[in-house]
């Protein structure tokens, strides 16, 4: 994995949170649902595999920032993944069951010096955003993204050099992986 320069196209890593517990803690809400044991294993393994560069994403730059929904399960997923390669994490309440448009709005506010960013979110928004960003002629990308299971990761090459220019149909799928990552 490499570090990106200032004029390279943007890389967007989309991750659906890992497997969560079916119920919130006593007295809690859906927002507080933690990861299940399998989810913790998958998220940690994903981070290690990204750092090792062996998920088939080539020399793509690792994320310089991880954005995550403020929900416990997405925050925990993001912490475990980002810990493997040391990216800072920002929690955003707007990503908690936000729409693909909400996620895109957050991305468009990012500093232009960031060339590679990861968003850890929820379905259906994560899956729908990945599909919406794909160029219409990226049939292989659409086929690869037929489903987006928990802790799956998609890498999109945005085809633009500024986050404010990120738009539907502007990206191509550079890679997609799903758990198990430790097998």
pTM above 0.75, yes or no: yes
User: Given this model, what pLDDT does residue 59 score?
Assistant: 85
Is 30:63 a contact under the CB 8 Å cutoff?
Answer: no
Q: What is the chain's mean pLDDT, rounded?
A: 93
In order of their start, the domains of the chain are 11-177 (3.40.50.1240)
3-state helix, strand, coil in the chain (%, to 5): 35, 20, 50
pLDDT > 50? residue 2: no
pLDDT > 90? residue 5: no
For residue range 99-156, list pLDDT tens digits in order.
Answer: 999 999 999 999 999 999 999 999 999 999 999 999 988 899 999 999 999 999 999 9
In angstroms, how far is the first alpha carbon of the chain from the final one? 21
User: Given this model, what pLDDT does residue 150 score?
Assistant: 97
User: Given this model, what pLDDT does residue 183 score?
Assistant: 58
Nearest-CA neighbor of 132 among 110, 161, 154, 111? 154
Is 126:176 a contact under the CB 8 Å cutoff?
Answer: no
User: Given this model, what pLDDT does residue 97 score?
Assistant: 82
DSSP output for 102-165: HHHHHHTTS-TT--EEEEEE-TTHHHHHHHHHB-TT-HHHHHHTS---TT-EEEEE-S-SSGGG
């Amino acid at each position: 994995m490499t570090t990106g320069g200032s004029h390279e196209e943007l890389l967007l890593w989309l991750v659906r949170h890992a497997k969560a517990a079916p119920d919130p803690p006593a007295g809690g809400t859906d927002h507080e649902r933690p990861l299940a044991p399998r989810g913790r294993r998958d998220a940690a393994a994903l981070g290690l595999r990204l750092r090792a560069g062996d998920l088939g994403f080539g020399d793509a730059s690792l994320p310089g920032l991880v954005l995550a929904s403020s929900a416990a399960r997405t925050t925990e997923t993001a912490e475990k993944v980002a810990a493997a390669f040391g990216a800072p994490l920002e929690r955003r309440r707007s990503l908690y069951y936000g729409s693909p448009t909400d996620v895109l709005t957050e991305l468009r506010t990012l500093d232009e010096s960031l060339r590679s960013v990861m968003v850890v979110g929820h379905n259906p928004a994560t899956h729908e955003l990945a599909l919406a960003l794909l160029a219409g002629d990226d049939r292989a990308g659409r086929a690869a993204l037929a489903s987006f299971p928990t802790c799956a990761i998609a890498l999109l090459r945005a085809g633009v050099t500024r986050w404010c220019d990120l738009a539907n149909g502007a990206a191509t799928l550079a890679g997609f992986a799903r758990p198990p990552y430790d097998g």
